[in-house]
Structure 1
Amino acid sequence: MRLTSIFLFLMLICCKSETKNHQDTKIAVESMWTSFKKAHPEAQEEQPESYFFHDNKEDADRLAKLILDGKKKAGSGLYMWYKEAKAPLPEVGTEIIVTNFEGIPQAIIETTKVDTIPFNKVSSSYAQMDMGTEIDALNKWKKAHWDFFANAMEESGEQPTETMLIVCERFKTIWPEKN
């Protein structure tokens, strides 16, 4: 009985700390949006979605930093994900609050262009914008995205192909503003 009480107490503390952490990140996101709106009253009223790029802390935090540094200006997703989720493709003008892996807001981006093209037709210039580097960008983009998509598709029994459609989204960082 005593062990059960201790377990329940520890579980309650963990849940409270997770809730507090979630609440803290929510407040931080709202605060960033409020600051942006004060500087740009013409911006949309509704707070945009917030999320991080990638599926792990190291990459999510690295990509957020590349966005902050003005090096990453694009993101790529599988067209089949949108189709399966019956979700609309990104639209020009859409704003997104980019967070680090913990959900702390880092930047606000705005979509400037969206193309859907086969994997094997991705250009070197697009790869540079997505990877945030000019050094061997296309080869790095192909390897990183092939591996990422293969891993994600494995769950549904699918395998990547050279002709799979990629949603190529270009964006600009609109907050924080660079002088």
Structure 2
Amino acid sequence: MSESGHSPSKVSADAQRLFEDYCESLPDDERPELAGAFSFGDSRTLADTLVDLVYMGEKTATAPAKWTLEANDESIPEPGDHWVVLDGKGEPRCVIQTTDVEEVPFADVSADHATAEGEGDGSLAYWRETHLDYYRRTLPEGRSFDREIPVVCERFKIVYCA
């Protein structure tokens, strides 16, 4: 499964440099702020797999649990935010721009969103199974999984590659 939070406080010099390279490719009046840097997943292997899916254009969405973002003092993405995506070693691989954000209960995540995450067979059943496992592993202490946990469904597009 895929999600890690979005943390503006964890931006390495290499990630900042990649973002600056992206900004230099834009007109001065169109240069955005950097919202932060993050990797997908909760392991190096998963982070590498998922950033590769982003590169291939298969992954254009993610869905962290809102409770996890809050517990880690991580910001909830907003449309227009720009993020550096890191691989499993913490190396910057690309810049993405958030295009849409919707908070819904786990049970209401759509099949369209599951497909946009680009994982497994792209089905809602696969998404639910893998995300259920992921949320059970990563929810903050004192929280437990149920079908009503708030999920932050984010859509994004890749805007710059390393």
TM-score, normalised to structure 1's length? 0.75
Contact 1:131 1:141 in 2 (8 A): no
Tell me if 1:68 matches 2:55.
Answer: yes
The RMSD of aligned alpha carbons is 2.2
Contact 2:68 2:138 in 1 (8 A): no
Structure (1/2) with the larger helix percentage? 1
Query: Which residue matches 1:169?
Result: 154
Q: SS state of the match for residue 64, structure 2? A: strand
Contact 2:116 2:122 in 1 (8 A): no
Distance (whole Å) between structure 2 residues aligned to residue 65 and residue 49 of structure 1: 19
Aligned residue identity for 2:61? A
Unaligned runs of 5+ in 1: 1-24
TM-score, normalised to structure 2's length? 0.82
Query: Which residue matches 2:4?
Result: none
Which has the greater radius of gyration? 1
Q: SS state of the match for residue 145, structure 2? A: coil
Aligned pairs for 1:20-99 (under 5 A) are 26-41=12-27, 42-44=30-32, 46-84=33-71, 88-99=75-86
How far residue 26 of structure 1 moved from its aligned partner, in angstroms, is 3.2
Query: Which residue matches 2:145?
Result: 160
Aligned length: 150
Q: SS state of the match for residue 70, structure 1? A: coil
How far residue 80 of structure 1 moved from its aligned partner, in angstroms, is 2.0
Aligned residue identity for 2:159? I
Distance (whole Å) between structure 2 residues aligned to residue 88 and residue 34 of structure 1: 21
After TM superposition, the runs of 4+ consecutive aligned structure 1 residues lying more than 3 A away are 82-88
How far residue 174 of structure 1 moved from its aligned partner, in angstroms, is 0.6
Aligned residue identity for 2:125? N
Q: Which has the higher contact order (CA 8 A, sep 6+)?
A: 2
